[in-house]
Amino acid sequence: MYSIIVKKKDSESSSVLFRNFTKRMQVSGIMQKFKKEIYNSRPQSKNTIKNQKIRKLVKEDEFKKLFRLGKIQNKSFRKKR
């Protein structure tokens, strides 16, 4: 587990103590490690990858069909930025 120790001196106020604590947290990199653990995404399962490929093939077939019928004029149907 992580531990950061910041001791208050006699002349320090609580706001200075808090500032010293946040500085040490940033320097140690604890928050970055913690956020990586929280927001780390798990790898996709074989079934999801398979379903995505199937959806992509179906969309491509539908697009080719519409293109052959003349309902879509150009091959690039995505919006250009």
Express each pLDDT in 40-76 by its tens digit: 778 889 999 999 999 999 999 999 999 899 888 776 6
| 32 and 12 share one domain | yes
Q: What's the whole-model pTM score?
A: 0.43
Q: Do 55 and 30 fall into the same domain? A: no
Q: Identify whether residues 57 and 22 lie together within a single domain.
A: no
Residue 5 CA to residue 12 CA, distance in Å, equals 15
Residues 25 and 48 in one domain: no
In total, how many domains does the chain have? 2
Residues 12 and 30 both lie in one domain: yes
Q: Domain check: are 33 and 46 in the same one?
A: no
- 36 and 50 in a common domain: no
Identify the domain containing residue 12 by its residue range. 1-40
21 close to 4: Cβ distance less than 8 angstroms: yes
Q: Is 70 helix (H, G, I), strand (E, B) or coil?
A: coil
* pLDDT tens digit sequence for 23-45: 998 999 888 888 888 887 788 89
